[in-house]
Chain A
Amino acid sequence: MTTAAATTDTTNPVVRRLQDIWRSRPSLKLRRDRFAMVCLVVISLYMLIALMVALGIIGGDFADRVGTNYQSPGGESWKLWLGTDRQGRSIIVRMLYSTKVAFNVGFVSALIGSVVGSLLGAIAGYFGKTTDTVVVWLYSTIQSIPNLLLLIALSYAVSRWLDRGLIVVYVAFGATFWVGPCRVVRGEVLKLRESDYVQAARAMGYSHARILLLHVLPNTLHLVLVYFALLFVAAIKSEVILSYLGLGVQGEPSWGVMINQSRAELINGYYWQIGAATVAMLGLVLCFNVFADALQDALDPKSL
């Protein structure tokens, strides 16, 4: 990798580091995986839609009436392509808007889960002793409570203090999602702690915080990255279940809200709302799943 960096003419360390990553073996392997690349493109498209919603270019009119109630798909305006819901609101606009909500929920929850989890895991593995015992106790405890039960109980408890809506979802997901990354990072740090380079850093008199943040944690990033993708998917899927229980997203549409709303519609033959939400969600979750798999394969040192 050093030779690759030496041949470039840039001296900016950040650019050089990025070039190193781009030319590293996992990156090459990932880029050669055509299926994963297609998925990455699809994820980027979803992200683009989410960004456009966030900027107010599309989707701001999700609550507007555009036609009659339960109008079937097809029509002159693009807003009628996927029909309307029980209040005559455009399904396609609601579906697009939900993309932003999905990215909100997925990104924030996965970020909280992987940051909190990997920090706790790294601290536990690095310092060992009592710290380790406490962290292991904490995640063993949370693990022995069924995830969904904890999630629901948390949402109920938190929703008494905060307004219902996204914050409650973040808190509930954040509090349960950190366990996975924490376990994995702790295991890895237990190994790294004894490695020569960490010993060397210690001998140089670096502080624990510096060793942890600059030398240990970056070497667990490959594990955290894969977990991030998995948690993203888990968040989007769990949001549907919270919405079913009335604890999910409030005041704006989400795929969960849409699926939940169409529970009783299917019997009357109104398939378009559940269809649109399911297909939109399937596309994103499927691509994330495939991409996470490819990422895991690419980063697995055994398969190099």
Chain B
Amino acid sequence: MWAFILRRLLGGIPIILGVTLITFLLLNVVGGDPALQMAGKNATEEDLAALRAEYGLDKPLVSQYVDYLKQTVTFDFGKSYKTKEPVVDILKQRVGPSISLTLPALIATTLLAIAIGLIAAAFRQRALDRGLMALAVTGMSISFLVYIVVGQYLLAFQLRAFQIHGYASGWGERWQYLSLPIIVLIVVGLGYDTRFYRSVLVEEIGRDHVTTAVAKGAGPTRVLTRHVLRNALIPIVTRVMISLPFLVTGSLLLESFFGIPGLGAQLLEAIESADFPVIRALTLLISVLFVLTTILNDVLYAVVDPRVRLE
């Protein structure tokens, strides 16, 4: 198993290199000159040259890329072009709000979707199942932005159940701000997840071991939870795992709309103000997490399902 993990880790290196290359190409080559953004409208040519020299933007592209790779290896991402703070500090400050938005939403969405998927699978091809699936597809067909706008209008403005916009330092107050975006996130994801889990569970129900369990006289609840759900764990675990790296970045849209100071909002600000170090660090962080979770995922496969062998 260790040989497998090591080989997969080595296999992740070209992918991470690829990510650095793509971000570099997008930002430094296609994206233009960040000195223009930093200096503002009234900058002279000397100001621009000074800024470029300060951030190493006057070097040839190849040596800029090498600098960037050095940063990547040492996890030192330098300072933000905009606020001059070290990028690592910014990440540390902003990751909390993002996770407190995305983690509760992921847990709630997954549990709800599995529960609804189980009901739909139990009543497969009947009216209840069709109704639930129709609802899921309809939910998937409505724009994310509509959920945000209407959610804010109904829950925060009309019912005054939550705060409309902003964030607070204390946890008690914080939920006032976080609840609404969390609800929106759950509603947006529920359609996709429910459909996915239903199809997984329906496939499992069709297997021989379930027929055997029913024939032995196990009750429907026992069959569904003990026999079906347990054996469907692999796709469930995979789906949850795959979404883990993206929890860190929060949600670009929700954070910027509701004024939550997380990494998603930060990322958007960074893209708008050409704050390259922040964009690079965040992209790299996510892709490293992504590569690691896919490896962990394969290892978990072998743990959950003894039939799977890691070679």
Contacts and interface: CB of A to CB of B under 8 A. Distances in A.
A141 B18 contact: yes
Interface string A212-255: 00000000000000000000010001001100110000000001
Contacts of A266: 149-150, 153, 157
Nearest to A240: B143
Interface residues of A, number: 42
A15 B184 CA distance: 51
B140 A145 contact: no
24 contacts: A137-B14, A137-B15, A141-B19, A141-B22, A144-B291, A145-B19, A145-B286, A146-B249, A149-B252, A153-B271, A156-B272, A157-B31, A158-B30, A160-B31, A233-B141, A237-B144, A244-B145, A256-B143, A256-B145, A259-B143, A266-B153, A278-B142, A281-B142, A293-B137
Interface in B167-204: none
B249 A154 contact: no
A160 B145 contact: no
Given A149-B249, A259-B149, A237 B143 contact: yes
Contacts of A82: none
A146 to B, nearest CB: 6
A144 B140 contact: no
Contact of A240 (B23, B27, B144, B286): B144
Given A146-B249, A157-B30, 11 more contacts: A142-B22, A144-B286, A145-B286, A149-B252, A149-B267, A153-B26, A160-B31, A240-B143, A240-B145, A244-B253, A256-B143
B18 A138 contact: yes
B246 interface: yes
Interface string A274-293: 10001001100110011001
A161 B30 contact: yes
B144 A241 contact: yes
Nearest to A141: B18
Residue among A144, A263, A281, A289 with max Cβ neighbours from chain B (10 Å) = A144
Contacts, number: 111
Interface in B54-91: none
B283 interface: yes
Residue among A145, A282, A289 with max Cβ neighbours from chain B (10 Å) = A145
A274 B149 contact: yes
Contact of B26 (A141, A143, A154, A237): A154
Contacts of A146: 246, 249, 286
A152 B27 CA distance: 12
A278 B19 contact: no
Contact of B279 (A153, A241, A259, A289): A153
B268 interface: yes
Contacts of B301: none
A148 interface: yes
A142 B19 CA distance: 7
B44 interface: no
Contact of B146 (A141, A144, A161, A274): A274
B93 to A, nearest CB: 19
A141 B15 contact: yes
